[in-house]
Amino acid sequence: MEENSPEKLDEETMQTKIPDKSQPASKDEMAGIEIDDDVYFFVDFVKLQVREHANPDNIIPFSKMKDTGTHYEFMYDPLTRTISSSASRQNYKVSFRNITKLHPDAVARIYKVPLEEVKKRNDKEFFRDLNQIRQGEKKEVKQQKKRGMRM
């Protein structure tokens, strides 16, 4: 399994306070993984799903996967190119790192939080603590402004 990481995010995403989950993420907001020979999926950091490169309508949401704390796992059916709930000879387990480890820089930019806060958490912890992280950032900015006014 191969992982690719995007280099930059588009300006619209950079200006969005919270990602718009009604819109699909741009390719810059995703990392790519190779699930099967020549079958690539993008890991969508905004919609929390993987989407097949050749068929964007083919999506597998994270909610259908097992989160191990460090990786996401699911049984993959290469014939249907999607998640499988049945045991079959052709099906096999696919796993990829949590998005906080797969591409922490993109996660930090998309969710507008410090990179250090992303790196020290797994996905469950990150999304659980997201509002708290943002509140901490707001307090820090206010404190910096107050310090700047005193000088």
Residue 146 lies inside a defined structural domain of this protein:
yes
The answer to whether residues 52 and 38 touch, using CB atoms and an 8 Å cutoff, is no
- One-letter amino acid identity for 99? I
The answer to whether residues 133 and 36 touch, using CB atoms and an 8 Å cutoff, is no
Q: Which pLDDT tens digit goes with each residue over 100-138?
A: 999 999 999 999 999 999 999 999 999 999 999 988 866
Residue 31 lies inside a defined structural domain of this protein:
yes
Residue 69 lies inside a defined structural domain of this protein:
yes
Q: Which pLDDT tens digit goes with each residue over 23-54?
A: 444 555 557 888 888 899 998 888 999 999 99
Residues 13 and 20: their CA atoms lie apart, in Å, by: 9
Return the structure tokens found at 120. 């020290």
Mean pLDDT of the chain: 79
Residue 98 lies inside a defined structural domain of this protein:
yes
CA distances from 52 to 19, 69, 78, 109, 117 (A): 21, 24, 12, 23, 29
The number of domains in the chain is 1
Residues 109 and 112: their CA atoms lie apart, in Å, by: 5
CA 90-92-94 angle, 5° bins: 145
Residues 71 and 76: their CA atoms lie apart, in Å, by: 15
Residue 47 belongs to domain spanning: 8-150
Residue 3 lies inside a defined structural domain of this protein:
no
Residues 32 and 99: their CA atoms lie apart, in Å, by: 11
